[in-house]
């Protein structure tokens, strides 16, 4: 994964190919907590009977990843980083029907 979000390079590798990391600034993170939708749950229950992808949940997870990455990038920008390396994602159940998606990485400056 390599993308630019609000001017900050975001990669899931420990280094940036062809670039030199000049300063390591620490861990940055972003998260979001999302609840399931009753309408989506009913459709998911029906889909479980016949099988197949639960596209509503796939879309919900993609939106959650984008929001968590955006918040992580904002954290990196607040300390003057130009990139976030070694980006990872984690999820956890908060309550029945709600889950957190957490993005984290190491803020750096590079040239």
Q: pLDDT tens digits, residue range 37-87? A: 655 555 555 555 667 777 878 888 899 999 999 999 999 999 999 999 999
For residues 100 and 32, give the distance between their C-alpha atoms in angstroms, rounded to a whole number.
Answer: 6
pLDDT at 24 over 90: yes
Q: What is the mean pLDDT of residues 20-33?
A: 97
Contact 101, 32 (CB under 8 A): yes
- Tell me the whole-structure pTM to 2 decimals: 0.84
Residue 63 burial (CB count, 10 A): 13
Which strands sit side by side in the sheet containing 98-110, from one edge to the other?
A: 2-5, 8-11, 83-95, 98-110, 21-35
For residues 55 and 57, give the distance between their C-alpha atoms in angstroms, rounded to a whole number.
Answer: 5
Q: Which domains does the chain possess?
A: 2-110 (3.30.110.70)
The pLDDT score that the predictor gives to residue 57 is 80
Q: pLDDT tens digits, residue range 10-22? A: 999 999 999 999 9
């Amino acid at each position: 994964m390599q993308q630019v979000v609000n001017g900050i390079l975001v990669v899931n590798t420990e280094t940036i190919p062809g670039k030199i990391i000049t300063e390591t600034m620490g861990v940055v993170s972003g998260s979001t907590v999302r609840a399931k939708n009753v309408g989506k749950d009913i459709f998911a229950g029906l889909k479980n009977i016949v099988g197949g992808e639960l596209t509503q949940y796939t879309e919900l997870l993609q939106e959650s990843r984008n929001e968590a990455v955006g918040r992580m990038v904002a954290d990196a920008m607040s300390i003057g980083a130009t990139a976030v390396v070694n980006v990872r994602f984690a999820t956890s159940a908060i309550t029945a029907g709600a889950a957190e998606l957490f993005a984290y990485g190491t803020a750096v400056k590079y040239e």
